[in-house]
Amino acid sequence: MKIEAFFDARTWTLSYLVWDESSRDAVIIDPVLDYDPLRVNVFEESIEKYTKRIEELGLKLHWSLETHAHADHISGGARIREKLGAKLAIGKPITAVQSLFAGVFGRNDLDTSGGQFDKLVEDGEELVAGSLRLRAITTPGHTPACVTWQIGDALFTGDVIFMPDYGTGRCDFPKGSAEDLYSSVQKLYALPDSTRVFVGHDYQPGGRPVQWESSIGEEKAKNIQLKGHTSREEFVAFRKARDAKLSPPNLIFQSIQCNIDAGNLPPADAAGHRRLILPIGVFK
């Protein structure tokens, strides 16, 4: 199995291309659709990078996997499906996120059954991508629909845990839960210490170079917010106090209203215009 990381410096997002070197079967995890907030426009620089690499390697892309409905970048999943035919998968609780935010964005037309995705996975469910076998581990807390994808000895954790010098994901989004995140991380910490961890973002604390791979053993020993011996009470108190001081992500409204719809932009009106909604007063 081969893994290649793509780092989007605009949003500190890491996307991953995973493939079997023998069969050329592949999946992509958390692809990005680029967004220019000043021009209010999307572009496909990241999509083009993935596509070029997939073509160079002669891969057959089976799935585009989401770890959750991101609040800091627009998903490239819908464009990947359109261009390369990959199916989209996300955690089944995305329906709760859809139901919550459909009202916030006035999207009475939104399908809140998760029908925009090809597969809604449950805990322990396995997907097949040719010769690759994928297992979904539900890891709620950052959002209720968070999934860690396990492929071989590698975990793709999204925003559950980051590099050890940064910590864990925030839990103050609607239906987020520090208690749930603690339990989710314990599920991961129960795996062998040698299990590789590939994170969903890297914020380069202290200005260090970008990093994206650690291990369960390293996280348990060194994660500055949640070590293997950290108690539930200690972590929950810390996470709630820290989250209370955090500002919302820069692109939270643009991202969520597209990502609850599998990365699709809002539908065009009769004049052909698409409009992103910026609701006032949702975050105090």
50-69: per-residue pLDDT in tens? 999 999 999 999 999 999 99
Mean pLDDT, rounded, for 250-266: 96
- Residue 30's SS3 state is coil
CA distances from 188 to 149, 215, 217, 219 (A): 11, 10, 10, 10
Mean pLDDT, rounded, for 235-262: 96
Determine the length of the chain.
284
User: Domains along the chain?
Assistant: 2-259 (3.60.15.10)
| Residue 211, token pair as written in the block | 């990093």
**H/E element holding 34?**
strand 32-36
Beta-bridge partners for 214? 197
Nearest-angstrom CA–CA distance, 182 and 213 = 21
Query: For the whole model, what pTM was predicted?
Result: 0.97
pLDDT beyond 80 at 235: yes
Beta-bridge partners for 25? 60
pLDDT of residue 40: 92
pLDDT beyond 80 at 213: yes
Per residue in 137-192, pLDDT (tens digit) is 999 999 999 999 999 999 999 999 999 999 999 999 989 999 999 999 999 999 99
pLDDT beyond 90 at 282: no
| Residue 243, token pair as written in the block | 């989250």
| Residue 32, token pair as written in the block | 């990005």
Arithmetic mean of pLDDT over the chain: 97
Half-sphere exposure of 31 (CA within 13 A, CB side): 31
pLDDT beyond 90 at 4: yes
pLDDT > 70 in the chain, percent: 100
Nearest-angstrom CA–CA distance, 169 and 172 = 10
pLDDT beyond 80 at 284: no
Nearest-angstrom CA–CA distance, 6 and 179 = 31
> Looking at this protein, which amino acid is placed at residue 133?
R
- Residue 46's SS3 state is helix
Nearest-angstrom CA–CA distance, 143 and 191 = 22
Nearest-angstrom CA–CA distance, 92 and 143 = 12
Half-sphere exposure of 220 (CA within 13 A, CB side): 16
CA distances from 243 to 72, 133, 256, 279, 284 (A): 16, 36, 19, 21, 13
Residue 11 burial (CB count, 10 A): 20
Per residue in 72-108, pLDDT (tens digit) is 999 999 999 999 999 999 999 999 999 999 999 999 9
pLDDT of residue 281: 83
